[in-house]
Chain A
Amino acid sequence: MSGIEFVRVTKRYGGAGAPLVIRGVDFTVPRGTLTTILGPSGCGKTTLLRMVAGLDSPSSGRILIDGRDVTDQGPAERNVCMVFQSYALFPHLSVIGNVGYGLSVSGVSRDTTAQRARAALAAVGLEGYEARMPGELSGGQQQRVAVARALVLEPSVMLFDEPLSNLDARLRRSMRQEIRDLQQRLGLTVAYVTHDQSEALAVSDQVIVMNTGVIAQTGTPRELYERPGSVFVAGFMGEAMLFDGVAQDDGTVTVGPLQLRASQPVGAGRVKVAVRPEAWSIAREGAGLPGRVTGCAYLGSHVEMNLQTALGAVFVVSPDVDQNWRIGDDAVLLLAQRGVSIVVA
């Protein structure tokens, strides 16, 4: 059974003449899984999330939650909770007041409210912080309060709107793991909006890549990274360089002097080949694509290099940090099978 289902949803802000922000979207989020909605800013991902929440209503199409049509219902009726990008903690209420707010306005008794709010705070590791005001917490703690505040209502769907964008890099990594753990422990259905592809890869069961109001591709993180269906997805899911290639009838693809086998079936003709920078292997000599080093940066765990080749400029990430490359050195590039995908031109 699906937790969230969108059926041909469109959205425009303003009158009938206004342009569509969401141009017909269908997807399902299976129950108990975490789906990330990924895309560049302005692609409509937050609008999509707000329509799940009921903060915006679609211009056409239906939205189902747990199989029930909620298109015409307000946010309070949907059994959905949301963690806002700004956290939106009520600054005039204490931590426990914030977490208990949803229960209190639903008419739950004072004692039960306090008890359940405490339990929710414990679940996010914030015992002892009940009396603090939100302004007295660090960013990560505020984030946890926001999560606890949503959790306490035991919603059937939890929504996260770029929940980590206000945290520093180290905290971001640990918080995303906490959210993922919590989701798996409680079996929550979660829709999660982000523009950070590594975050999406790390936490998701399913990733929906949005572009200009439509879904570019849906799939598991591995599918999207290794078999991007379009130039856009290839470029957005990590770095990739595009090269012109020609596909033969037998399924081999020629890129300049290089030959490779397509991992997915392609028709004969001109194609684009997306190559991840770590798919190249680089050697001093041998067969392959010859080139000359034009830039080289040592980054501790790996080396980033720019080379000038017959295919143009090529960006390479090599794990071999012991090789002492210099600008002007001659080199030969080879392609591995992983990290190369044929996309429609």
Chain B
Amino acid sequence: MTVGLSHRFTRTLAVWLALGAGAFCLLPWYFPQELSLLQALAGAFDGPDTASGLVQAVRHGRSWLWVAAIALTIGATALRAPASRRQGGVLVAGALIGLLGVLGAAFAIGARGWTWSWAQTLFGELAVGQAGIGIGGAVVLVALLIQLAAGAARLGAFRGDLFIAGAVVLSAALLALFVALPVGRALTGAFVDDSGQPSVAALFERLGSERLWGLACLGGGARCGVAWNTLFLGLLTAIGTTALGALIALLAERGPRRLARPLNGLALLPIITPPFVVGLGLILLFGRAGLVNQALEWAFGITPSRWFYGLFGLWLAQLFAFTPIAFMILRGVVQGISPAMEEAAQTLRASRTRTFMTVTLPLMKPGLANAFLIGFIESMADFGNPIILGGQFSVLSTDIFFAIVGAQYDQGRAAALALVLTLFALVAFFLQQRVIGRAGYATVSGKGDAGLPMPLPDPVRRLCLGLALPWIAFTLVVYGFAFAGGFVRTWGRDYTPTLAHFTTAFDVQWGEFGLVWAGTAWNSLFTTVKLSAIAAPLCAALGLLIAWLLARTRFAGQRGFEFGALLSFAIPGTVLGVSYILAFNVPPFELTGTALIIVLCFVFRNLPVGVRAGTASLQQIDKSLDEASMMLRAGTATTLRRVVLPLLKPALVAALVYSFVRSMTTVSAVVFLVTAQTELATTYIIGRVGNGDYGVALAYCTALIVLMSLATLLIQGLVGERSLGRRVALR
């Protein structure tokens, strides 16, 4: 009556093997740097650059590619065998031969023959080298991974489920290739000295430098080490954002009703804001040509200076940028505190203040710790604010940038700095995970909480209003200035209203051949939108898939998989960017300078967003729905498509929106990867700011905010709400 599972299994595997074989015969094996994909496809049977794997092996002397054909043939033979452990063994063996062979050869043989000199002495000189793996090689590798997964499933792993096996193996391979490999390569770069020899001494020399760890500023010296700067700033920012976030959260949840809505709106601001808006707004206020300095000069004759650039300005900017994040975390925490607890305390004759101090605040503790650590992590990973407001105060993320991009071009130094930053981030990250893991104060239970939340005690309410309201007003002023800055001629000198900056950036003319995008920003805008639009669905799909694997399936090695996925969340953007440029500028994965590497960077940088959105909503969907679908004879893939995905629609929207918007606004990771052809909006803005061209930069930011609001609405409209009838939760 139904198609037997074993039959489906064989069919799926056969399709993948056929795809692999087809790719081996028909698609260009290597990645030709100068040609487009279409041009390369046309040359699949021609020259040594564009030929397919088969043609390379037969005609161009790259006989090591035969291993792929052998592996696929082994897989095809096993396909005929009856379903058994034996079949699984053959599949796994074939796949391993293929994967190790193809990847081994890819790493061992570079553009000019053997990569390692010992191989050359051992095997003699090679006649031909090879370029980086292209579309053909990639499809063959995927097919071999599926073969490996199928074999593992036949051997009893993943409960014999090919879909789960394939999903786990593929996503693990992707994480390994695009997170573990580059970061690993970059960080080991710290152990290689200038002549290219591995050396621990080089590491210590770099790590131990005065510039990194100096404490001169304590003794009145000029400045402290970069590492201390980073830690100190992170600490200050974390304290500030947590305190402000907590006050605003209390105000939004427990304060006057009419404040709740505007406060929630405030929380959305940083999501659609490009990272420089706050910094630029602050510059317009406090910079040398800013209003405050001008007023001081006018009133007291104080000469304007760059006093704002440095620790204080940077701290202020980060407070603006990250307080909303703390607010969002802590709002959830305050919502989660059961009013019954507070009511219990009050009936036990505690005053409101005492209840707040002894019940409400302690219940918030894990949330506060979480917000603190998140603020710390965000501050350390921040790149946009330090680059425009840091002045002489340098932090790790910007120092890494200058080590690579500046005149020094010192890979080893960049790697060492990246190592320090990664270590800091990892420590903070694991502390945060522990805090979340042990936050056992969840007071939301299945039972209805009838009680009313306690209003804030008067002293607390006064504190909240006194600090939070001015802060919110200040935020609005900063945003208002950033907005206004795009509409005046030159801030600080000539306040004539003008649209000139918009014309410079977004001019459209009617030329000889129709519409001409004459503005200087169009190019970067189109590239950004295009690449973000490609990356967003990939990121959302992979993120939700990983979330589902972690939440709903059980397989051997799941803890390791989860650890790997989590680990990639902790890598600061700057480190990821540096890693990509260091790891992917040589074969076998030669992607530097292409748009593909930027898309990949977007996908893996924003992956945590998708995973978190998926995990959160999977927790709210009763697991028995999945099981019911399985009982009704749906396979895993069908269940995912017809039951889980429709129910995950809100998460899907969230993941799509966030990854699109974050791709549009990311700076830290891609700043290393852009080229003249692939300039992005954010790098364009950095360039303008570097030239002191604030007007155009701000005009661009304004346009981006509008664009991203529209995109958010559009995606929500397209994907739509899930239809659930009247009662939502069926538990």
* A residues apposed to B, CB below 8 Å: 53, 55, 57, 72, 74-77, 80-82, 84-92, 101-102, 105-107, 132-136, 142, 149-150, 153
Contacts and interface: CB of A to CB of B under 8 A. Distances in A.
A91 B5 contact: no
Closest 3 CB pairs of A and B: A133-B725, A135-B725, A102-B632
B632 A101 contact: yes
B731 interface: yes
B5 A135 contact: no
A74 B631 contact: no
A80 B630 contact: no
A208 B110 CA distance: 69
B577 to A, nearest CB: 40
Contact of A106 (B1, B722, B730): B1
A76 B161 contact: no
A87 B730 CA distance: 8
B219 interface: no
A313 B4 CA distance: 63
Contact of B625 (A72, A76, A90): A90
B647 A106 contact: no
Which secondary structure characterizes the binding site on chain B?
loop
B631 A91 contact: no
B724 interface: yes
Given A76-B2, A77-B5, A106-B633, A135 B724 contact: yes
A135 B627 contact: no
Interface string B643-665: 10011000000000000000000
Contacts of A101: 629, 632, 634, 642
B165 to A, nearest CB: 13
Kindly name the residue among A92, A107, A142 whose own CB sees the greatest number of chain B CB atoms within 10 A. A92
A91 B728 contact: yes
A90 B630 contact: no
B557 to A, nearest CB: 14
A259 to B, nearest CB: 52
A86 B731 contact: yes
Interface residues of B, number: 34
A144 to B, nearest CB: 15
A76 B643 CA distance: 15
B730 A135 contact: yes
A77 B4 CA distance: 7
17 contacts: A55-B631, A57-B159, A76-B2, A76-B5, A84-B627, A85-B624, A90-B647, A92-B647, A92-B723, A92-B724, A105-B635, A106-B1, A106-B633, A136-B727, A150-B631, A153-B632, A153-B633
Given A89-B730, A133-B724, 4 more contacts: A76-B5, A88-B624, A92-B647, A102-B633
Given A86-B730, A87-B730, A105-B634, A92 B722 contact: yes
A149 B643 CA distance: 15
A223 to B, nearest CB: 32
B723 A133 contact: yes
A99 B731 CA distance: 19
A134 B643 CA distance: 14
B628 interface: yes
Contacts of B624: 84-86, 88
B161 A91 contact: no
Interface in B1-50: 1-5
Contacts of A76: 2, 5, 630-631, 633-635
Contact of B3 (A72, A102, A107): A107
A84 B647 CA distance: 19
Interface string B450-474: 0000000000000000000000000
A151 to B, nearest CB: 11
A16 to B, nearest CB: 13
Contacts of B628: 82, 84, 88-90, 149
A134 B161 contact: no
Given A91-B724, A106-B2, A74 B625 contact: no
B622 interface: yes
Interface string B108-131: 000000000000000000000000
A85 B730 CA distance: 11
Interface in B164-187: none
A49 to B, nearest CB: 11
A296 B292 CA distance: 87
Contact of B627 (A88, A133, A142, A153): A88
B638 interface: yes
B653 to A, nearest CB: 15
Contacts of B622: 86, 88
Nearest to A166: B731
Given A76-B5, A90-B625, A107-B3, A81 B728 contact: no
Nearest to A133: B725
B630 A91 contact: no
Contacts of A132: 725
Contact of B631 (A53, A86, A106): A53
A149 B624 CA distance: 14
A88 B634 CA distance: 15
Contacts of B261: none
A59 to B, nearest CB: 14
Interface in B673-730: 722-728, 730
B151 to A, nearest CB: 17
Interface in B593-635: 622, 624-625, 627-635
Contacts of A136: 725-727
Kindly name the residue among A74, A77, A90, A91 whose own CB sees the greatest number of chain B CB atoms within 10 A. A91
A107 B3 CA distance: 8
Nearest to A106: B2
A57 B723 CA distance: 35
B160 interface: yes
Nearest to B4: A77
A107 B7 CA distance: 14
Kindly name the residue among A74, A88, A102, A132 whose own CB sees the greatest number of chain B CB atoms within 10 A. A88
B610 to A, nearest CB: 21
Interface string B568-602: 00000000000000000000000000000000000
Nearest to B647: A92
A92 B632 CA distance: 16
A90 B630 CA distance: 12
A107 B730 CA distance: 27
Nearest to B625: A88
Contacts of A150: 631-632
Contacts of A75: 627, 630-631
Contacts of A88: 622, 624-625, 627-628, 730
A305 B725 CA distance: 50
Interface string B353-377: 0000000000000000000000000
A76 to B, nearest CB: 4
Nearest to B727: A135
B530 to A, nearest CB: 33
Contacts of B638: 105
A337 B731 CA distance: 46
A134 B5 contact: no
A72 B643 CA distance: 25
Contacts of A142: 730
Contact of B725 (A106, A107, A134): A134
Contacts of A81: 631-632
Contacts of B731: 86
A149 B625 CA distance: 13
Contact of A74 (B161, B632, B728): B161
Nearest to B634: A105
A90 B629 contact: yes
Given A82-B628, A88-B622, A135 B633 contact: no
Kindly name the residue among B3, B628, B632 whose own CB sees the greatest number of chain A CB atoms within 10 A. B632
B543 to A, nearest CB: 21
Given A86-B730, A92-B647, A74 B630 contact: yes
Contacts of B643: 90, 92
A81 B627 CA distance: 11
A135 B724 CA distance: 7
Nearest to B632: A102
